[in-house]
Structure 1
C-alpha cells in the first residue's frame, strides 16, 4: 500500500508541501491584517474558540466549502485524532473514534462513544449520518469525554453540527457541483423575511454519483449513491427577549455497498480464491447486488428566553429513522460465501432539554444548569446467509432506551477580571434498557453514574492562556443483539481524562497556536468480539474486561503570512497501553482501534489575483495518517490493518461581484490528486470462512467544476 514514511515524504509531494509548512483544520479567514475570531458554542454559550478551555476544531461554512464538505463523512481528514469508518453493512452508517475511543459495532442497545448533535439535538443512531445536510453554518469537533454539558454522556467526544438560521434579509444561494463518475450535487437555499421578527429559510440538496467500481453482474454498480435532503427553518421573535426556532429536516438516501476485497485468503481456500492486492475498475459477485435505503426525518423546537439571571433555553425534538442495508462479503469471486441478506432497522426518539446559561453582573461567577430526557424505541430484523444457507434463525430485536440527566457547572473568576478562573461541574445520568428478541420475551437493566469535571484556566498574556482539565464520561451498559445469550447484559464503561492545553495568538494576531496533551484512564472497556470456532461472523459477544491508558497530543497552527496568504498545520499523536483484556488474552495483542499514532494536515489558502470586481484564489490541502488497526485485538499478525496513506486535494476559484450583494463563483476542484490506493476499512472476522482479511478502498481520484450564485 502506498504511503510515505514519517522520516521522509515522497519526493513528488515536495512541490505541493513546501508552501504549506506552517498551517488548521479550518483555514481561519483574514481580517484587516489579523486572523479573524472564531466563535463556538462548545460549552453551551457563544464564545471565542481562544477562550474555550477545550481541545476543539471548528470548521465554518467557508472552510467546509473549500474541502467540498456537506456532511460528516467529508471532514475526517481535516481533524487529527478523529477517525470515521463507514460500517460495513450500509454505507450511510458512520462510526466515529476520537482519541482512540469509539464504537466498533452499530446496535440499537449500545450507544456510540462519540455523541453527534444537530443544533443541540442528540442523534442516537449512527445509521444515516452519512446523508448530507444542506445549509451548515459550522461543525465543531470536541475531543475528550463530554460528561457534564451534553445531552448524552460520552467517553470519546462530541461532534456538533450547527445549521444556519433564518434572518431578516432576503437572500438566496444556488450551487451546482459536477464531476467524474457522473457526480452531480445541487444545493438551493432561500432566506425569506415574512414580517418584522418573522423569517423562514428553506434548503434542498441533491447529491448523486455513479459507482466507482463497475458491476459486471446483476444490479447497480458498487459504491453509487443518490441522496435527496431538504430542510425548513422558521424563526419568530415576538419580543426582544424571546426567540422561537422551528426546524424540520428530511433525507432519503439510496446507495449500493462498496466492494470488499479478499486481502489475505484463509488456508482452506488457498489456490481457489484469489487475493486481490489492488483496486479494480470492474468486479462481479456471484449474487445480484441489491440497493440499500435510508430515510430519516426530524422536528425540533427551540425556545430561547433572555432573563435577568441568564439565557433560558428549551430544546424539544422528535426524530424517525428507517434503515435497510445489504452487503456481500464474498469478495470478487465466483462463490457465494457470506451475505448480510436482509438488515432492516426502524427507530424513533424523543428528547427534551432545558438549560440556563448566565453569569453574575460583576462577571465573577458564571453558571450552566440543565435537565435532560431521552426516550427511544426501535426494532431490527436481520438475516445472514452463508453459502446460500441461512445457518442461524433470523434476528428480530425490539429495543426501548430511556435516559434522565441533570447537570451543572459553576465558574469563578475573582473580581470578574482576574487572569485566573476555575470551573467545577458534574452530571448525574440514569439509563434504562429494555429489549426482547424472537426467543426471549423481555430483558431490562438500569445504570447510573455521576461524572464530575474541573477546569483551571490562567491567562498568561493578553492573547495567551493555559488550562488544566480533568473530565469524566461514561457509556451505559446494554445488550448485544447478536449474542447467543441475549439475556446477559454488558456493563457500562468509563473514562477519566487529564488534559493540559495552550491557547495563544501572537504577532498582532497573525499567528494562532493551540495545543493540548492528555492522558486518559479507560476502564471496563466494552469489547465486541466475534465468537471463536463458529462460522457466522455476525455472531458476536460484548465483554467488559478492558482497562487501558490512552495518551496523546494535538497541535493546531494558523499563520497569516500576508493579507492574501494563510497557511495552516494540524498534528495529532496517539498512544495506548492495555493493562487488562478479555478472556485471559495477552495484553500484547491489544491496541486502541482506529487510532493512528501520527496524523497531520497542512493547507494553504492563497488569494492569487485581485480584480476590480472579483478575485482568484487557490486552496490546497494535504493529509497523512499513520497505519492503524480497525479492531482492538490482533486475531492474526498483519490483518485488520490500514497501512499509512496520504491524500492531496486542491481547488482554484474565481469570485466576481455582480451587484452590491450578489456574487457569482466558478471553481475547478480535484480530490486525491495522485490517485492513491488506500484502505478505509479492514476486517478480520471471516477467518472461519474464506478470508483472514477483507479490505475496502477509499475513493479514487475525483475532479470537476462548481458554479455558485448568491444574492
Structure 2
C-alpha cells in the first residue's frame, strides 16, 4: 500500500510536465506565444457573464473552435475524451439517439420524458430537455464548456451533476465562410458549408449546413446488412442585429439522424431462465455470444410474426405489418430561439425565448441473438417552450449581481412496445406534461482588491403530470378480454380514471415539487498568477413518474450538495498552467433503479428514491508550451464513492418450500409453492458510471514553413472500469441464483479502455486551404460503450447485452476558408 501511494505521489508530481488543460487549445501555440509570451487565456460564460477561465471560481473545461476541430469533437459523446470526470455512454434499450451523461458520478440511465437528466445540455443558452436531443451534431462552434458540480443558481434549469454549454458562432459584420469535404473508412463522406453575410448596417446572417453518411461498421449476420451506419442532415441559421445599447439574435437549427439499428450483442444469458417451455431459446443465445472474434457482428432479427397465436389474425392490418419491421432508428430534433441584450446604464437585461422539438423512434432486437427473446419499439416525442429573463450589473464599486427568472412547459409522450419470447406486442404508452418555474439571484462582493465573496440562491417549482395508456396487446380495444391484467381486459392499468371502454384506457397521475438551490463561495487572487477558491453548492433534480410501472407513486426530487476547492495557477512566464479541483459530494433521496415487487405489477424494474451516496475526487488540468510551436495538454480525474450504509435496499421474492429466516410470507406460486419477500441491503454495491480513474494527454506541434504551417496533433484518452446496474443477491437465495447475480455483475461492467486519436494538417497561407488526414481509435481497440445487464437476474428475461464502441477509422479532408478580417 505504501509503495502504491508513493507511486501515485510521484505521478502527480510529474503532472505539470505531462498534463495540460484542453481549454487553452483554442489558439494555435505559436499565436499564443506571439500574443502573450505564453499560453493565451480563454473567456468563458460559465457563470452567465464573460470572464477569464483562470479567474472563474468553479471547475470548468472549455475548448475554442480550433481545439474542437483538432480534438475531432463532432458530437456530444466526444466530450468524454477532453474533460475530466465526464463519462458519456451510448446504447439504449429503445433508440440510438441517447446520450447518457454523467459528471462526478451524477447521471441518469433512465432520463425518460417523466424523469430529468442529472447533467443539463445548453445550446446558446437554451436548455435541451431530452437526452434524445443530446447526440445531435456539433458544427461551427465558438466554444464548448463543461461545468462540473451542481448548477442550481444561474442556469435556466436546476441540475445536480453539471452542465454542457454549447455556444455556436454568431454572425459577424463581414463576409466569411468555409467549405469542407471529408472521406474516410466505411465509405464515410461529409460535406459542410458555412456562409456569413452582412446584410445591412449592424445586421448579419450566418448559415451552416452539414451532411454526412457512412456505411455500418458492424454486420448483421442474420439479416445480411450493415449495422452501426449513420446518415445525418444538419442545418443552422442565425440572424443578428446590433445597435447602440442592444442586440437581437434569432436562431434556428434542424438535425435529422437515421440508421439501420444499433449494434447490440448477446453478452451472456442465464440458463436458469431458459428451461422448460423456454429451453428452445437457449441454443440461439449460445450461438450469438459476443467475443473478440465476432466483435462487430450481431445476430438480431427484429420482430417475429406470432402466426400460431389466434389473436394475431384479429389485429388490424397496420398492426400486423409492424411485426415485419426490421431494426431502425430515426431522430429529428429542431428548435428556434431569440436572444435580446439591452444595456440599461450600468445594468444589462437579457431575454432568452426558445422552442425545442424532438422526436425519436427505433426498433432494437435487444438480445442480439437469433432467438426472439426481446424486441422493443421505443420512442419519445417532446415539445418545449421556455422563457428566461436576466438582469445583471453593478450596485456599487464592490457589489455586483445577477438575478433572473425562468419558466418552461414541455409536453410529449413516450412509448415502449415490446415483444417478449415471440408473443404479441405489449404497449406501454404515456403522455406527459412538465412545467418548471424558477427565480434566482447571485451577488458578488469584493471584500478587498483581491478577495471576493459570492452568494447565490434559487427556488424552483416543478409540476409533473402523466396520463398512462398501457395495454397488454397492441392493437386490441382497451376493453377486450385479456387474461392476467388487473381487470381482465386489455387495458393494463391498476388505477384507471374510469372503467376501460373501447376507446378509453387512462390513468392520470400528477405531482408538484418545490425546492431550493444555493451557492456560497470565496475566492482570492493571491498574486497575478495564482487564483484560489472554495465553494459549497446545493441543488436538486426534479421528481417524476414511472410510465411503465404505472401503479407506483411519484418519486421525489433527489438532493445534492458539495464542497469544492481549487487553485488555478500560471508558471514560467505563462508557459505552464496547472488547475486543480478537489470536491466531496453528498446525494440524498437518490433516484435509483431498483428491482422489487410492485403492487399489481409483480417483479419489475423502476425508479424510486432509495439511498444516499457520497462521491469524492480530485481533478487536474494542465497546459504547457515548452518550446516554440509545441503545446502539451491533458487532464486527470481520480474518483471514488459509495452508498451510506443501510440507506438503500430492495425486496427480492424467493420461492422456497421451507420458511426463510428474516423474510415475510408472500403469495404462493400458481402451483401452491410458498414464496417469501426478503429485504436486501444494497449499500455495498458499486455506483454506476463512476470510473475511479480517467485521463487524457495530447500534444500539438506546429511547424512553420515558407508556404504555410504543418500541424501535428495526437491525443490519448483513457476511462476506467464502469458499472451499470449492479445487483446484490439476498443471503436467502440459492447458490445457483447467487451465481447468476455474480455473473450479472461481471456482465454489467465495462472494462477500462484507452483511445488514440491523431490528426496531421497542412495549412496553406494563400489560398486559405487546410489539407488534413485524421484517425480515431488508431490502435483498433475493441471496447464497450455500455452494457445492459439488468435483465439478467431472477424475474427478468435472463439476458445481458453489449454495445460495442466504434472501431478504427481514418480519413482525409480539405477545408477552404474565405473572407474574414
Q: Residue 556 of structure 2 corresponds to which residue in structure 1?
A: 491
**Alpha-carbon shift at residue 233 of structure 1 (Å):** 0.2
Counterpart check, 1:647 vs 2:683: no
* Structure 2 counterpart SS, 1:562: coil
- Deviations along 1:272-324, one digit per CA (max 9) or x if unpaired, are 61432224344432336322111111110000011213221000001111111
Q: Residue 65 of structure 2 corresponds to which residue in structure 1?
A: 61
Query: Does structure 2 retain, via aligned residues, the 8 Å contact 1:400–1:434?
Result: yes
Distance 2:465 2:797 in 1: 36
Matches for 1:367-386 after TM superposition, within 5 Å: 367-386=401-420
CA 1:366 to 1:697, structure 2 compared with 1: closer, same or farther past 3 Å?
A: same
Within the candidate set 259, 264, 271, 2:263 is matched to 259
Distance 2:800 2:160 in 1: 29
**Alpha-carbon shift at residue 691 of structure 1 (Å):** 4.6
Distance 1:561 1:7 in 2: 27
Distance 2:98 2:721 in 1: 23
Distance 1:577 1:289 in 2: 42
- Deviations along 1:20-62, one digit per CA (max 9) or x if unpaired, are 8333234533322310111100000011100110000112111
Q: Residue 25 of structure 1 corresponds to which residue in structure 2?
A: 22
**Alpha-carbon shift at residue 632 of structure 1 (Å):** 5.1
Count of residue correspondences: 687
Within the candidate set 795, 804, 809, 1:697 is matched to 804
**Alpha-carbon shift at residue 130 of structure 1 (Å):** 1.2
**Alpha-carbon shift at residue 463 of structure 1 (Å):** 1.5
Matches for 1:178-197 after TM superposition, within 5 Å: 178-197=183-202
- Deviations along 1:450-503, one digit per CA (max 9) or x if unpaired, are 1121010011111111100000110111101111414x1111100001001111
Of 35-44 and 265-274, more deviation after overlay is shown by 265-274
Counterpart check, 1:212 vs 2:229: no
Counterpart check, 1:398 vs 2:403: no
Distance 1:34 1:586 in 2: 55
Q: Residue 598 of structure 1 corresponds to which residue in structure 2?
A: 693
Query: Does structure 1 retain, via aligned residues, the 8 Å contact 2:523–2:531?
Result: yes
**Alpha-carbon shift at residue 442 of structure 1 (Å):** 1.6
Query: Does structure 2 retain, via aligned residues, the 8 Å contact 1:101–1:592?
Result: no
Matches for 1:509-520 after TM superposition, within 5 Å: 509-520=574-585
Q: Residue 450 of structure 2 corresponds to which residue in structure 1?
A: 419
Within the candidate set 438, 455, 467, 2:533 is matched to 467
**Alpha-carbon shift at residue 174 of structure 1 (Å):** 1.1
**Alpha-carbon shift at residue 6 of structure 1 (Å):** 12
Counterpart check, 1:656 vs 2:752: no
Distance 1:678 1:198 in 2: 49
Distance 1:374 1:611 in 2: 54
- Deviations along 1:128-147, one digit per CA (max 9) or x if unpaired, are 32121321111110000001
Q: Residue 354 of structure 2 corresponds to which residue in structure 1?
A: 317
**Alpha-carbon shift at residue 692 of structure 1 (Å):** 5.0
Distance 1:6 1:65 in 2: 38
* Structure 2 counterpart SS, 1:461: coil
- Deviations along 1:142-162, one digit per CA (max 9) or x if unpaired, are 000001101111110111000
Distance 2:432 2:716 in 1: 43
CA 1:658 to 1:616, structure 2 compared with 1: closer, same or farther past 3 Å?
A: same
Within the candidate set 623, 627, 638, 2:746 is matched to 638
Query: Does structure 1 retain, via aligned residues, the 8 Å contact 2:575–2:625?
Result: yes
Structure of higher CA gyration radius = 2
Within the candidate set 665, 669, 689, 2:774 is matched to 669
Distance 1:95 1:148 in 2: 23
- TM-score w.r.t. structure 1 length? 0.93
Which of the pair is proportionally richer in strand? 1
**Alpha-carbon shift at residue 631 of structure 1 (Å):** 2.4
Q: Residue 713 of structure 2 corresponds to which residue in structure 1?
A: 619
Query: Does structure 1 retain, via aligned residues, the 8 Å contact 2:698–2:713?
Result: yes
Q: Residue 286 of structure 1 corresponds to which residue in structure 2?
A: 301
Within the candidate set 375, 396, 416, 1:339 is matched to 375
Q: Residue 563 of structure 1 corresponds to which residue in structure 2?
A: 628
Q: Residue 12 of structure 1 corresponds to which residue in structure 2?
A: none
Query: Does structure 2 retain, via aligned residues, the 8 Å contact 1:70–1:136?
Result: no
Q: Residue 277 of structure 2 corresponds to which residue in structure 1?
A: none
Distance 2:364 2:98 in 1: 13
Distance 1:358 1:207 in 2: 44
CA 1:532 to 1:27, structure 2 compared with 1: closer, same or farther past 3 Å?
A: farther
Distance 2:790 2:6 in 1: 33
* Structure 1 counterpart SS, 2:150: coil
Distance 1:453 1:22 in 2: 30
- Deviations along 1:412-445, one digit per CA (max 9) or x if unpaired, are 1035xx2111000100000011111114432110
**Alpha-carbon shift at residue 241 of structure 1 (Å):** 0.7
Query: Does structure 2 retain, via aligned residues, the 8 Å contact 1:413–1:422?
Result: yes
Distance 2:261 2:684 in 1: 31
* Structure 1 counterpart SS, 2:77: helix
Distance 2:15 2:790 in 1: 42
Distance 1:6 1:80 in 2: 21
Within the candidate set 608, 611, 615, 1:546 is matched to 611
* Structure 2 counterpart SS, 1:64: helix
Query: Does structure 2 retain, via aligned residues, the 8 Å contact 1:409–1:426?
Result: yes
* Structure 1 counterpart SS, 2:54: helix
* Structure 2 counterpart SS, 1:134: coil
Query: Does structure 2 retain, via aligned residues, the 8 Å contact 1:311–1:356?
Result: yes
Query: Does structure 2 retain, via aligned residues, the 8 Å contact 1:504–1:513?
Result: yes
Distance 1:623 1:159 in 2: 19
Query: Does structure 2 retain, via aligned residues, the 8 Å contact 1:220–1:289?
Result: no
Within the candidate set 272, 276, 282, 2:290 is matched to 276
Distance 2:16 2:350 in 1: 46
Q: Residue 37 of structure 1 corresponds to which residue in structure 2?
A: 41
**Alpha-carbon shift at residue 693 of structure 1 (Å):** 2.9
- Deviations along 1:60-114, one digit per CA (max 9) or x if unpaired, are 1111101222221222121121011124122211110000001111311111110
* Structure 2 counterpart SS, 1:93: coil
Q: Residue 407 of structure 1 corresponds to which residue in structure 2?
A: 440
Q: Residue 123 of structure 2 corresponds to which residue in structure 1?
A: 118
Q: Residue 523 of structure 2 corresponds to which residue in structure 1?
A: 457
Counterpart check, 1:354 vs 2:389: yes
Query: Does structure 2 retain, via aligned residues, the 8 Å contact 1:319–1:350?
Result: yes
CA 1:448 to 1:295, structure 2 compared with 1: closer, same or farther past 3 Å?
A: same
Distance 2:189 2:130 in 1: 28
- Deviations along 1:692-711, one digit per CA (max 9) or x if unpaired, are 53211111111011110001
Consecutive unaligned residues of structure 2, counting only runs of 5 or more, are 9-13, 275-281, 303-324, 470-492, 497-506, 651-678, 729-740
CA 1:131 to 1:37, structure 2 compared with 1: closer, same or farther past 3 Å?
A: same
Query: Does structure 2 retain, via aligned residues, the 8 Å contact 1:544–1:582?
Result: no
Of 684-693 and 467-476, more deviation after overlay is shown by 684-693
